[in-house]
């Protein structure tokens, strides 16, 4: 494995660093004021404006193929960019992106859904999770019943990211219960104009998922994504990238938090000297630094394997599990180092703590990651000490 960067990659990261410094870091103070006022800092229009600024700087479509106007930088560079961007302690993602399974649509579907999504003219959401079906995606129950040239959808999907803003959803529904999840689930492209509605789910952090309700929503045959009965395979193809990007984001956030802790511990005087001179503080700093480095290299290894065309699901699960736990412990230590000030809303620490708690839940809970890792090893799907 060679993680050395060429000149072009270094220039890209320098551009990202400049964008973060110029556009994102200045938003941290307004974010704190918005938090105090109960407001959302970045509305969709604000995100769109920032994305266009990033596009002008060349940061656009990080994983999108060149034929669709993207940079196609690969997973390793995307992970590094995520680390750099997340040093600004506000939620932001670059534009020019579309769900990877939209590329599997036919030519007409690409014109209606894929290309407008890449350009930012349309917004999608991925609707798989149901009220009684979270980690066990094989157990989805929402039916799609054929009625002439259409399929009729009834039911609910929950905790759907972008569900409030999306104008179309990639919906997974049961079209043949007898065939089970491997042959009885189908993916549909369902426009909001077809009749579904979304309602906000209040969470402890910045994540704003939605509950989506389908009440006799009619979807024509031409809106089937892929083949009838092959939807579960598409859903599994969609899941995976987030298990690398989430821990990459955690690394960037943790690095910034640790920098805050270093600065504060040098300045804060207790019992006549800076608290940085006390072993209790030094150990929290050291433990955090070690864990950040561990997760960073786990992420880079998983991302490198993706770029090499390998199956990185096992490595991604390890990185996701480690990263979600790491950021939670780091933010807790950084709050402890700051004492009462860290607990206030005058600083971003408590907000980050609330935001990152979900890392241990979505895109596969800690328990699911442990189950996958152990099963891969016990069944021989993954080998200890392998580098391929």
**Annotated catalytic residue: which of 35, 211, 291, 363?**
363
State how far the Cα of 301 lies from the Cα of 316, in Å rounded to an integer: 9
Whether residue 108 lies in the annotated active site = no
DSSP-assigned beta bridge partners for residue 147: 150
CA 239 to chain centre: 10
Side-chain-side CA neighbours of residue 334 (13 Å): 28
First to last CA, the chain: 10
Cβ neighbourhood burial of 242 (10 Å; 0-12, 13-18, 19+): middle
Beta-carbon neighbour count of residue 6 at 10 Å? 8
State how far the Cα of 22 lies from the Cα of 27, in Å rounded to an integer: 10
SS3 content of the chain, % helix, strand, coil (to 5): 55, 15, 30
State how far the Cα of 143 lies from the Cα of 249, in Å rounded to an integer: 36
Tokens 């579904």 map to which residue? 196
Residues annotated as catalytic (active site), given as ranges: 363
């Amino acid at each position: 494995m060679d993680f050395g960067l060429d000149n072009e990659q270094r220039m890209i990261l320098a551009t990202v660093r400049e964008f973060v410094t110029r556009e994102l870091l200045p938003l941290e103070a307004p974010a704190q004021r918005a938090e105090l006022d109960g407001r959302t800092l970045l509305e969709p229009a604000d995100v769109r404006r920032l994305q266009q600024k990033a596009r002008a700087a060349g940061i656009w479509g990080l994983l999108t193929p060149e034929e669709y106007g993207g940079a196609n930088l690969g997973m390793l560079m995307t992970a590094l960019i995520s680390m750099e961007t997340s040093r600004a302690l506000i939620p932001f993602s670059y534009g020019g992106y579309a769900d990877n399974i939209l590329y599997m649509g036919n030519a007409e579907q690409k014109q209606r859904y894929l290309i407008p999504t890449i350009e930012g003219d349309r917004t999608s959401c991925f609707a798989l999770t149901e009220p009684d079906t979270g980690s066990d995606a094989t157990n989805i129950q929402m039916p799609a019943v054929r009625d002439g040239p259409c399929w009729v959808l009834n039911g609910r999907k929950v905790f759907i990211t972008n569900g409030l803003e999306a104008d179309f959803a990639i919906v997974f529904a049961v079209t043949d219960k007898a065939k089970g999840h491997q042959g009885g689930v189908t993916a549909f492209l369902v426009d909001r104009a077809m009749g579904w509605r979304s309602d906000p789910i209040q969470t402890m952090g910045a994540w704003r998922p939605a509950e989506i309700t389908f009440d006799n929503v009619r979807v024509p045959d031409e809106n089937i994504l892929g083949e009838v009965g092959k939807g579960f395979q598409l859903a599994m193809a969609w899941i995976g990238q987030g298990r690398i990007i989430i821990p990459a984001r955690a690394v960037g956030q943790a690095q910034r938090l640790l920098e805050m802790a270093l600065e504060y511990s040098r300045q804060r005087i207790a019992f006549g000297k800076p608290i940085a001179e006390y072993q209790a503080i030094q150990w929290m700093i050291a433990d955090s630094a070690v864990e950040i480095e561990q997760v960073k290299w786990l992420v880079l290894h998983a991302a490198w394997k993706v770029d090499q065309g390998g199956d990185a699901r096992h490595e991604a699960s390890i990185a996701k599990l480690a990263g979600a736990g790491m950021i939670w412990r780091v933010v807790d230590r950084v709050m402890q180092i700051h004492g009462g000030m860290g607990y206030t809303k005058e600083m971003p620490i408590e907000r980050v703590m609330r935001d990152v708690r979900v890392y241990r839940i979505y895109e596969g809970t800690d328990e699911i990651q442990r189950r996958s890792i152990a099963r891969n090893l016990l069944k021989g799907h993954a080998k200890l000490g392998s580098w391929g």
